[in-house]
Chain A
Amino acid sequence: MIEAVLTLSGIGLVASLGLGLAARKFAVRRNPLIERVEQILPGANCGACGTAGCSAFAKAVVEGEAPLNACVPGGQEVARLIAELMGAAVPSTESYVAVLLCKGGKGEARSKFEYDGVSDCRAAVLVSGGDKGCAYGCLGLGTCERVCPFGAIHMDEDGLPVIDRETCTGCGVCVKNCPKGVLLLAPREASVHIRCHSHDKGAQVKRVCTVGCIGCGACVRICPYEAITLDDGLAVMDYTRCRQCGLCVDSCPTGNITSLVSQTPKARIDPERCKGHALCEAACPVDAISGEPGKTRLVDEERCIGCRICCSVCPVHAIAMVNPD
C-alpha cells in the first residue's frame, strides 16, 4: 500500500518538475499588448487592413508594421482606442461606404439568355459573362450579400443589392469579390452618386437597359464644380470635388444619378470664399439672398427652396447646398 502511494507520488513529482521546466524553457513570448489590441478590434477578419485577419493585424500594429488606423470597420473609434493603448497620437481616419454602381435590376435591364447554373455571380460570369445584356451590369445573384462580414447587404426584389449605410463599415470585401466591379467604396459623406459603370456607347446602353448612363454629358455641363467627367462614354464622379448640390440629379435624362439628400437642401454661403459679387442675389428666384454691396451675402433659409441656381452662378463656388440639421 505505502509503496504504491510513494511510487505514484514520485512519478507525479518527476512529471510535474519536467512539465514545469518545459513550460519555462519552451515558453512562447507574446507581447500582452497584442492581445489587448485584438480585443479592441471588431473581429470580423475581413482583411480590409491588408493582413490575414484581426489577430495578424493586432500583431502588425504592435510591431509597428501597420498604421494604427488601418482597421476600416473599426474606423475612428478603434483607431483612437489603439492609439491610447500604444501611447501614440490619434490619426484621422476617413470613412468609406460601399455604393452600387448599377440601377439595372430585373425590370430595367434586359437579359441575354436564361441562366440556370450555380447561383453565384463569380460562377455565373464564367458563362458568357453572365446573363445580363449589359456587360457591366450587376448580375444580382448575391455574392456581395454572402461575403459581407457585417450583414450590411441584402438583395431586393428587383435583383439588386441594397447596402445599409449604417451597418456598412467600408471594409471593401464586397468590392473585391464582385466579378463585375460594380461596387465602389465612396467617401461616407458623399451623397450624390452616378449609378452606372457601363462604358458602352449610348445606343448599346439603350438597347440593354433603361436606366444606364448614355454618356450624353448633361451632368458634366451642368456641374458647377467640374466634379463630373466623361470617361469613354461614362460619366464619372470625382468625390473630392462634388459639393452635393444635386443639380446633376435632375439633369440626367435616364435618371441614373441619385442623391441621398432627402430633405430640401438649403443654400449656405462660405463667408471666406464669398467676394460679394451678388450674382446669386440676382439669380435667386425667391429673393432669399441679400446683403450689403461688396460684402458677404446672407441666405434666408426660410425662403430658400433648394433650387441650386445660386450654386451654378457663383463665380467663386462659395455656395453649397446642405441639409439643415
Chain B
Amino acid sequence: MSKVFRFKGGVHPRDRKELSRDKAIEPAPLPERLVVPLSQHIGAPCEPVVSQGDTVKKGQKIGEARGFVSVPVHAPTSGKVIKIDSFPHPLGKDLPAIEIEPDGLDTCADGAGGQEDFASLSPDELRAIIREKGIVGMGGATFPTHVKLSPPEGKPIDTLIINGAECEPYLTADYRLMLEEPEKVITGMRIMKTILGVERAFIAIEKNKPEAIDAVKGVLGPDSREATVVPLEVKYPQGAEKQLIKTIVNREVPPSGGLPMDVGVLVQNVGTAAAVDQAVRLGIPLIERVVTVTGEGIREPKNLRVRIGTPVGSLLEACGGFRETPGKLVLGGPMMGISQYTTEVPVIKGTSGVLVLPRSRVRLEEARTCIRCGTCVRVCPMNLLPNFIGTFASRGLFDQAERYYALDCIECGSCAFSCPAKIPLVHLIKYAKAEIMAKKRKK
C-alpha cells in the first residue's frame, strides 16, 4: 500500500450519510414531463436539433455540441418534444431547455451499439465515443470528459485517479455505485487508462466507506497491478481535485490557473468512470445518473437512478414528500450545493444529490464582526486568507481581493462553515470573483 500524504486545512462536518447509505439504488419513476437543459456542462451550450412536436426515442441526440469544449445532450426516454424554451436551471438562472412528454414506451433509438472489446479501438475513437455520448464530469463540475482525456502535447499524464472520496456530507450516490456496480467503475477506469496510455492508477475512497473499498478491491482481485485502492482520511474537502492529488501523489497543482495535467495527473469521478464504461461497451449515452435524495426534511431518503431532466419535485414525491415544512432545498451536497427556490428544476448531469432540510434546522444567522480568530485561514485547503478577501469584497475593493488570490478559491465552504462570526465568506468571495471576472471581460 502506498503512503498517504495530507493536505493542509479542511474541516470535519458530521457526515450524516446514515440516512441513505443502506438504501440500494432503485430506479426513479418516469415523470410526466422531462426538462432537458441544453447547458449541462462547462463550455458552450448545445444547439437543439429537434423541434417542437417531434417524436424522439430514448438515447436520440436532441442537442448538438458547439465547439470543442461542449458535449451533446440526448433524450432520456421516448416521447414528444412539447416545447423548447427557457426553464429554471439548477444554477439559478432560466436557461434554454427541451421539454419532453414521455410516451411511457421507452423505445430505444437505433444506432451503433457498443464495443465490448474496447482495446481494439484507438484512443481517438474512444475519445470520440465519449464526447458523442455526452459524458461530463459527474462529481458536480460537469467539465466535458473528452477534453480532460485530451492532454495537450508536452503535458504527459502519468497517473489516473478515480475519485470515490465523496467527502460531501449526506451524499451516498458514489458509495452505492461503487458497492453495487464496481465492475462498471473498474472497466471505465481501464478504458481511460487505455486512452491516456498510463500505467499508474489509484482509486481513492474515504475510510468511512469500508464496504465500497472491499467491493472495488474484490473486482480488481487480490494482487492486481491495475490500480491501487487508497483509503483516505475522512476530511472535507478530501475529494476536491487538487487536495486529492496532494494526498495521493504528493504533488501540488500550481496556483493561479494551474491544472492537474500540469503535474501529470488526471482525476475522474467514479460516476464518470461508470458512464464511460456504459458509453463505450454498450453505446448508452449519459441519460441517467444516481442521485441521493436525502436530508432530515424528506420522509424516505433514497438513492435513485434518475433520468436526466427529471424535475426535482417528482423525486421528492418518489421519496414520500416532505417530512415537515421544508426550509431549504439544495442540489448537491450541503457544503457546495446550490439552494433552489423551486422544485421545478431538473436533475442534470452534475446533480449528485437533492438535499431537503426542514425549516426547524435552517437557522438564519446574522453575520457579526470578524473577531480575527484566524479559523478560516487555518481550514482553507487552498492556503488563502478568506478573512481578507471577504473584507475586501464587502468594501468593494475587488482589485485588492484579486491580489489576495480570490480567483484561486475552490468555493469548498470550509471557511464559512467554521467561521464563529457567521460571516458568509464563500458568498463574499464568489461575489469578488464575479466582479473580478466581469472586469477582466471588459478589458
Contact = CB atoms under 8 A, between A and B. Distances in A.
B427 A123 contact: yes
Contact of B424 (A117, A122, A135, A147): A117
Interface in B366-414: 393-394, 396
Interface stretch (B154-162, B280-288, B315-323, B430-438): B430-438
A127 B92 contact: yes
Interface in A102-129: 112-114, 116-118, 120, 122-123, 126-129
Indicate the member of A112, A116, A135, A146 with the most B CB atoms within 10 Å.
A116
Contacts of A118: 393-394, 424, 427-428, 431
B115 interface: no
B341 interface: yes
B339 A127 contact: yes
Nearest to A118: B427
A146 B396 CA distance: 10
Contacts of B340: 128
Contacts of B424: 117-118
Contacts of A120: 394, 431
Contacts of B92: 126-129
Contacts of A123: 393, 427-428, 430-431
Contacts of A129: 92-93
Contacts of B435: 122
Interface residues of B, number: 18
B94 interface: yes
Contacts of A131: 341
A194 B150 CA distance: 53
B124 to A, nearest CB: 39
B431 A126 contact: yes
B371 to A, nearest CB: 19
Indicate the member of A122, A123, A127 with the most B CB atoms within 10 Å.
A123
B289 to A, nearest CB: 23
A101 B261 CA distance: 49
A123 B433 CA distance: 10
Interface string A137-165: 00000000011000000000000000000
Interface string B76-110: 00000000000000001110000000000000000
A122 B431 contact: yes
Contacts of B93: 128-129
Indicate the member of A116, A128, A131, A146 with the most B CB atoms within 10 Å.
A128
Interface in B269-320: none
Interface in B411-443: 424, 427-428, 430-431, 434-435
Nearest to A128: B92
Contacts of B428: 118, 123
Interface of A: 112-114, 116-118, 120, 122-123, 126-129, 131, 135, 146-147
16 contacts: A117-B424, A118-B393, A118-B424, A118-B428, A122-B435, A123-B428, A126-B431, A126-B434, A127-B92, A127-B427, A128-B93, A128-B340, A128-B341, A129-B93, A131-B341, A147-B396
Given A114-B364, A118-B393, 19 more contacts: A116-B364, A117-B427, A118-B424, A118-B427, A118-B428, A118-B431, A122-B431, A122-B434, A122-B435, A123-B393, A123-B427, A123-B430, A126-B92, A126-B427, A126-B430, A128-B341, A131-B341, A135-B94, A146-B396
Interface of B: 92-94, 339-342, 364, 393-394, 396, 424, 427-428, 430-431, 434-435
Shortest beta-carbon contacts, A-B, top 9 = A128-B92, A123-B431, A113-B341, A112-B341, A116-B364, A117-B427, A118-B427, A117-B424, A128-B341
